Amino acid sequence: MTRQPPAWARKMPIQPSSWRLIGLAAAVWLALSLSTPMFNSVLNYQSMAFQVAEVGLFALVIALSMLTSGIDLSIVSVANLSAIVTAKVFVVIGATNGGVGALVLGVAVGLLVGAVCGLVNGLIITRLNVSPILATLGTMQLFNGIAVGWTNGEAVYGMPPAFLALGSGTVSGIPTPFLVFAVVAGIVAVLIARSGLGFRIRMIGANAVASRFAGVPTRAVLVKAYLLCGLIAAVAGMVVSARTASANADYGQSYVLLAIVIAVLGGTDPNGGRTSIPGVALAALVLQMVASGFNLLGLSQFTYQIAQGAILIAVMGVATLTGRLDWRRFLARPLPTVPAGSIESWDGPDAPGSPTTPIEERHTA
């Protein structure tokens, strides 16, 4: 018989890629701590928490879209347009010193705009059969053009203090943007891992043809997935506008590539079907540590870009070389008395109960 791994190992939600990221995060923290004493200051940690939220939220959108075997390149344009609409609503209703009602109205309209943008992306992809990369590339230009034409390229001001606290406030010393990022990441993680919609999204990303034969309404699921992407992008836009106290159509154009790097670094498969939301959040923190450390050391932005590529290549290389050395497989090694050629892993493709195991064996396992 095959030795089963401990119960705690079977219940651990952390993937091998996340363990590699934890090791990388520890190494980066140690190196930067030894390089500059200012790195471990409370002020630096708060600064990192303020900055990591916006790019982390964008990375969540990329991870979710990649999970469907697609991608959303319009995230920054959606975020900026949603932030501009929110700011315009505040200006129109005179909410500079307004109450909770004005704040809720502005945020609700901004989220609605993000949802509509996501819906447009989903409908173009599913109804017009346009590939996600081309569809969202087109809507990126469309939404950005609307934002620039509406504002003439100028920033919009006039947001109430309660809204600005979303980007500059703290709760018990923890920056509010970081709390928003943590809450959104937790919701997305639960949605993907525990909900029926998340299961269908993973199915479609893994094999869209098989999902259709299994009765999954692929078009409806994809539309919902991209609508959710639009909502998260709208939240990112509000965090950005609250932190900068303005809404601008040109903000954060470089975040798309950085968000893709973070999503892949965090364990998202660009081919679809697999992601790790905790890994994405941890990857965002790792790159933010590198950026803050380089800034304290006086290194240039170009050096940081080189470091981004080097870290991504290094982690992907290690993942490729050690892909068969899964720690769970090590815990499930067969006992010495098991004959050669038997099942080697409790979670492998031939494990009892897996899709490739004969039905008779599944019933007797």
Tell me: the pLDDT tens digits for 56-68? 999 999 999 999 9
On whether residue 317 sits in a domain, the answer given is no
Tell me, yes or no, whether 128 lies in a domain. Answer: yes
What is the reported pLDDT for 175? 94
User: What's the domain range around 125?
Assistant: 48-289
Query: Quick one: pLDDT at residue 238?
Result: 95
Number of domains in the chain: 1
At 64 the pLDDT is: 96
In a domain, 295, yes or no: no
Q: Which long-range contacts (CB under 8 A, 24 or more apart) does 19-27 make?
A: 19/327, 20/315, 20/318, 20/319, 21/265, 21/266, 21/267, 21/279, 21/282, 21/283, 21/286, 21/315, 22/282, 24/286, 24/311, 24/315, 25/282, 25/285, 25/286, 25/289
Kindly calculate the radius of gyration of the chain based on its CA atoms and give it in whole angstroms. 23
Residue 284's pLDDT is what? 93
Q: Is the residue at 236 inside a domain?
A: yes
Residue 148 lies in a domain: yes
Task: Assess if residue 258 is contained within a domain.
Answer: yes
Low-confidence ranges of the chain (pLDDT < 50): 1-3, 5, 8-13, 324-365
Could you tell me if residue 350 is inside a domain?
no
Q: CA of 208: how far to CAs of 217, 272, 273, 274, in Å?
A: 10, 10, 10, 14
What's the pLDDT at 299?
A: 84
360 located within any domain: no
